[in-house]
């Protein structure tokens, strides 16, 4: 139960950061928190065990893979942020409204 | 000969094929177009004559093909069958059409669009043959509609003249009212009998409920009234005179307008079962005969005189049908076809020679156009009912039969024949006698115009004696010549002729004096039937159309169409504000949507 509270709390914290922070880098960091909370839930559930049984080996492999992907995503994301910063001279999302309809 | 007579379809298909040939290779044929076109009516004439020679009692020659199998009690067949009535009609159609094509060579010389003209005449011949050789109502209806279409095409031959185009539309629409009646009659018979061939319908007729027979007969009558320009659908025929005069002779005097009479004569085993339909027919015929004859009295256009005269004479035929004398009606149909075609072609010759249709601009033409004048006199005598010309015998038979059944209506018809003699004499004097009042150089037409006149004049003398033979051929009762009626009607004709002759004299301008001075314009306008139709039908329809245009089309339909643009623009503007370009706003929406979906799914999945 505490596992669920912790992971949902972390996820909500990340989501709050994504929705409220105005800086792209902070938003990226918040996304990492959300991703981490999902991974934590996965691994935690595998350790606690579910009614469907335990698949610890597969779950740990998945967890490692998500972490690696998160690192790759962070690299691509930061590259994009640098590119945006160069082009628009800002990383504040409320100023990046080029695609307004 | 028998092999030839087995080719019943050829009287339809050959003229049809020739119509196509003439229409599409007219330029190639050039001056030969009429020579090709005339084969069509000649073939029909030959077929009709040989059928009569062969003896056609009992319609032994027939053929039919299955055409359609609608979801109903049976299938629709289209077939041909030749009996006495059909053969007689084929002779009339073939003969008049042949002479009209011949006459047209001279009359239409130098006109543009002649391939179209001769092709339409061929098509008309095909359609009219279809109408008369059909062995059932389906084939008759096909021919019936096609002759109407040909009538439209030929009235509107000079379609660049607004009067001609309007007259064509008017004729088409007015006869269409009647056609709807005919179609409803067919639908009713189809429902009740399940087969539209004459044999089946007539076999079933005696066992049908009386109400059905009366309804079917009255609906057939509506069709006949429209096609034969009887009251109250007579208004189109005077306007139809906008067409070329040979066309008027063929379609609007001799053949197509007589189709109504033919229809009732053909459907006689059914029609005669309904006393109500017969009474209505008699009333319509009598009223039309006298009303149209009166309208003809004051006409100033030679073709209009003949048009009203045709309506009036068809009224005589309807009156004869109304008292059960269908043999007399068919006899009058045949004699009328001959002498009225003669009069129309004579008027065509006059119009061709003097360049006008107005009687006031004619006069003294007898000496300048002796052949036309002499043949006209024969036709005029036949129309007035002078013995021994054709009209005398057939009209007397009608008068005799009506007098025997309905004396009151007979008096009205006697009045109509008195007026007939009057307008005949008046027109004849105005056109052919006294001194020439126009400023042209009237001349006789070529041989192609003179020959048909001579042939028809000869027939107008002779065909009256064929009454008993004709009655035997078509299988109808033939009354003997009633001396009292004959003497009476001849006397009336002479009185009418004398009065009409006097009325046309320059010293006795009857129609300039009261009470005729005030009555004449009304008579000239056909008793104001057009004005009535204008007010009662066209006015409301046009008003309704204006409402449809002004409100329904401009406001509702256009409103919807034009309203679509602002609607789309407004919606677009409304949705565009959602796309703020603010990625966090999108993410918020995404999150809210995900939560909403999750809530929905967990709510719906509660019971699982």
Is the pLDDT at B496 greater than 90? The verdict is no
Asked if residue A49 is part of any domain, the answer here is yes
Of A19, A27, A97, the CB nearest to B581: A97
pLDDT value of residue B58: 47
In angstroms, the CA B497 to CA B424 distance is: 7
Asked if residue A100 is part of any domain, the answer here is no
- Binning pLDDT at 50, 70 and 90, where does residue B513 land? low
Which residues of chain A lie closer than 8 angstroms to B591, CB-CB? 15, 19
Asked if residue A41 is part of any domain, the answer here is yes
For residue B352 the two structure tokens come to 């061709």
Place of tokens 């309208």: B295
Q: Strand, helix or coil at B240?
A: helix
Asked if residue A98 is part of any domain, the answer here is no
Which residues of chain A lie closer than 8 angstroms to B588, CB-CB? 19
Chain B contact present for A52, CB below 8 A: no
Is the pLDDT at B447 greater than 60? The verdict is yes
Q: What is the mean pLDDT of residues B275-297?
A: 90
Q: What is the mean pLDDT of residues B366-383?
A: 88
User: Total structural domains in chain A?
Assistant: 1
Which residues of chain B lie closer than 8 angstroms to A93, CB-CB? 582-584
Indicate yes or no: CB of A93 within 8 angstroms of CB of B584.
yes
pLDDT value of residue B510: 59
Lowest mean pLDDT among A11-15, B183-187, B299-303: B299-303
DSSP-assigned states of every residue in B156-207: TTTTTSHHHHHHHHHHHHHHHHHHHHHHHHHHHHHHHHS--BHHHHHHHGGG
Output the average pLDDT for chain B: 85
Chain B contact present for A81, CB below 8 A: no
Is the pLDDT at A53 greater than 70? The verdict is no
- Which residues, 6+ apart, have CB-to-CB distance to A69 below 8 Å? none
Its ipTM equals 0.74
Indicate yes or no: CB of A101 within 8 angstroms of CB of B578.
yes
Q: Tell me how close the Cα of A94 comes to any Cα of chain B, in angstroms.
A: 6
pLDDT value of residue B70: 65
Greatest mean pLDDT among B65-79, B152-166, B456-470 lies in B152-166
Indicate yes or no: CB of A96 within 8 angstroms of CB of B579.
no
Asked if residue A93 is part of any domain, the answer here is no
Residue of A nearest to B588 (CA): A19
Q: What is the mean pLDDT of residues B329-340?
A: 91
Q: Tell me how close the Cα of A6 comes to any Cα of chain B, in angstroms.
A: 19
Residue of B nearest to A99 (CA): B581
Q: Could you tell me which residue, B7 or B41, shows the higher pLDDT?
A: B41
- Binning pLDDT at 50, 70 and 90, where does residue B96 land? very high
pLDDT value of residue B159: 87
Indicate yes or no: CB of B584 within 8 angstroms of CB of A100.
no
Q: Judge contact between B421 and B305, C-beta under 8 A.
A: no
For residue B15 the two structure tokens come to 């003229």
Is the pLDDT at B139 greater than 80? The verdict is yes
Among candidate residues B332, B326, B318, B452, the one with its CA nearest the CA of residue B391: B332
**B21 alpha-carbon distance from chain centroid:** 26
Q: Which of B573, B575, B583 to mutate to test the interface with A (most CBs of A within 10 A)?
A: B583
In angstroms, the CA B604 to CA A75 distance is: 41
Of A18, A27, A100, the CB nearest to B579: A100
Q: Judge contact between B171 and B240, C-beta under 8 A.
A: yes
Asked if residue A38 is part of any domain, the answer here is yes
Domain that holds residue A49: 2-88
Asked if residue A74 is part of any domain, the answer here is yes
Q: What is the mean pLDDT of residues B421-436?
A: 86
For residue B476 the two structure tokens come to 């109808």
Q: How far is CA B209 from CA B212, B213, B328, in A?
A: 5, 6, 29
pLDDT digits (tens, 9 = 90+) for B229-248: 888 888 888 888 888 989 98
Indicate yes or no: CB of A101 within 8 angstroms of CB of B577.
yes
DSSP label at residue B552:
I
- A 10 A CB-CB count for A9 gives 11
- Which residues, 6+ apart, have CB-to-CB distance to A72 below 8 Å? none
Is the pLDDT at B184 greater than 90? The verdict is yes
pLDDT digits (tens, 9 = 90+) for B472-491: 777 777 766 677 888 888 88
Which residues of chain A lie closer than 8 angstroms to B584, CB-CB? 18-20, 27, 93-94
pLDDT digits (tens, 9 = 90+) for B194-224: 888 888 888 888 888 888 999 999 999 999 9
Of B578, B579, B582, the CB nearest to A94: B582
Is the pLDDT at B183 greater than 90? The verdict is yes
In angstroms, the CA B240 to CA B228 distance is: 13
In angstroms, the CA B39 to CA B45 distance is: 10
Which residues of chain B lie closer than 8 angstroms to A96, CB-CB? 581, 583
Greatest mean pLDDT among A2-16, B434-448, B471-485, B579-593 lies in A2-16
Indicate yes or no: CB of B583 within 8 angstroms of CB of A19.
no
Please report, for the domain that includes residue A33, its CATH number.
Answer: 1.10.287.3510
Q: Which of B572, B575, B578, B587 to mutate to test the interface with A (most CBs of A within 10 A)?
A: B587
pLDDT value of residue A76: 92
Of A18, A94, A101, the CB nearest to B587: A18
Is the pLDDT at B10 greater than 80? The verdict is yes
Chain B contact present for A96, CB below 8 A: yes
pLDDT digits (tens, 9 = 90+) for B223-233: 999 898 888 88
- Binning pLDDT at 50, 70 and 90, where does residue B509 land? low
pLDDT value of residue A42: 84
Cβ-based interface (< 8 Å): residues of B facing A:
575-584, 587-588, 591
Q: Tell me how close the Cα of B560 comes to any Cα of chain A, in angstroms.
A: 28
Is the pLDDT at B171 greater than 50? The verdict is yes
For residue B182 the two structure tokens come to 């005919």
Asked if residue A76 is part of any domain, the answer here is yes
In angstroms, the CA B457 to CA B383 distance is: 12
């Amino acid at each position: 139960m505490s596992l669920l509270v912790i992971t949902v709390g972390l996820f909500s914290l990340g989501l709050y950061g994504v929705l409220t922070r105005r800086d792209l880098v902070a938003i990226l960091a918040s996304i990492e928190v959300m991703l981490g909370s999902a991974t934590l839930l996965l691994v935690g559930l595998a350790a606690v065990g579910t009614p469907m049984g335990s698949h610890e080996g597969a779950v740990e492999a998945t967890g490692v893979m998500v972490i690696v992907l998160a690192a790759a995503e962070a690299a691509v994301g930061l590259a994009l942020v640098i590119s945006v910063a160069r082009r628009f001279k800002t990383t504040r999302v409320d100023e990046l409204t080029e695609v307004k309809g | 000969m028998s092999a030839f007579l087995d080719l019943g379809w050829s009287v339809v298909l050959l003229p049809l094929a020739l119509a196509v040939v003439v229409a599409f290779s007219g330029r190639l044929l050039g001056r030969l177009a009429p020579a090709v076109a005339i084969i069509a009516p000649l073939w029909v004439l030959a077929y009709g004559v040989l059928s009569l020679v062969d003896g056609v009692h009992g319609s032994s020659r027939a053929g039919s093909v299955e055409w359609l199998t609608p979801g109903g009690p049976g299938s629709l067949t289209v077939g041909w069958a030749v009996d006495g009535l059909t053969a007689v009609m084929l002779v009339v159609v073939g003969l008049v059409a042949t002479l009209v094509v011949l006459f047209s060579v001279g009359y239409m010389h130098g006109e543009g669009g002649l391939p179209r003209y001769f092709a339409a005449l061929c098509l008309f011949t095909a359609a009219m043959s279809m109408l008369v050789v059909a062995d059932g109502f389906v084939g008759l209806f096909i021919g019936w509609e096609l002759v109407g279409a040909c009538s439209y095409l030929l009235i509107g031959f000079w379609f660049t003249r607004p009067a001609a185009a309007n007259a064509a539309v008017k004729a088409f629409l007015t006869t269409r009212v009647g056609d709807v009646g005919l179609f409803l009659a067919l639908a009713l018979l189809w429902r009740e009998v399940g087969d539209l061939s004459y044999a089946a319908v007539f076999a079933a007729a005696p066992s049908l409920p009386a109400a059905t027979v009366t309804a079917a007969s009255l609906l057939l009558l509506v069709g006949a009234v429209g096609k034969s320009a009887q009251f109250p659908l007579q208004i189109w025929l005077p306007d139809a005179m906008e067409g070329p005069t040979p066309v008027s002779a063929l379609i609007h005097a001799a053949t197509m307008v007589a189709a109504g009479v033919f229809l009732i004569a053909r459907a006689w085993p059914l029609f005669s079962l309904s006393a109500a339909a017969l009474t209505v027919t008699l009333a319509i015929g009598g009223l039309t005969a006298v009303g149209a004859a009166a309208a003809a009295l004051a006409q100033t256009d030679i073709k209009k005189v003949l048009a009203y005269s045709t309506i009036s004479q068809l009224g005589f035929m309807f009156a004869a049908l109304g008292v059960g004398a269908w043999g007399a009606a068919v006899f009058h149909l045949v004699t009328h076809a001959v002498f009225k075609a003669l009069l129309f072609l004579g008027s065509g010759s006059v119009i061709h020679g003097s360049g006008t249709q107005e009687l006031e601009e004619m006069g003294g033409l007898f000496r300048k156009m002796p052949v036309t004048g002499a043949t006209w006199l024969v036709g005029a005598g036949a129309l007035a009912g002078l013995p021994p010309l054709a009209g005398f015998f057939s009209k007397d038979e009608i008068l005799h039969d009506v007098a025997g059944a309905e004396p009151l209506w007979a008096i009205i018809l006697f009045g109509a024949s008195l007026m007939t003699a009057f307008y005949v004499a008046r027109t004849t004097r105005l056109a052919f006698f006294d001194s020439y009042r126009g400023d042209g150089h009237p001349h006789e037409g070529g041989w192609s115009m003179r020959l048909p006149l001579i042939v028809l004049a000869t027939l107008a003398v002779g065909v009256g004696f064929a009454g008993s033979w004709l009655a035997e051929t078509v299988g109808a009762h033939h009354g003997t010549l009633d001396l009292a009626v004959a003497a009476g009607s001849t006397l009336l004709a002479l009185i009418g002729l004398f009065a009409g002759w006097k009325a046309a004299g320059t010293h006795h301008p009857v129609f300039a004096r009261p009470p005729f001075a005030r009555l004449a314009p009304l008579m000239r306008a056909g008793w104001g039937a057009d004005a009535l139709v204008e007010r009662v039908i066209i006015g409301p329809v046009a008003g309704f159309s204006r409402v449809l245009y002004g409100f329904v089309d401009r406001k509702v339909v256009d409103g919807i169409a034009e309203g679509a643009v602002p609607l789309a623009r407004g919606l677009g503007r409304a949705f565009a504000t959602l796309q703020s370009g603010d990625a966090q706003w999108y993410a918020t929406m995404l999150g809210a949507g995900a939560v909403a979906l999750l809530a929905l799914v967990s709510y719906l999945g509660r019971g699982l």
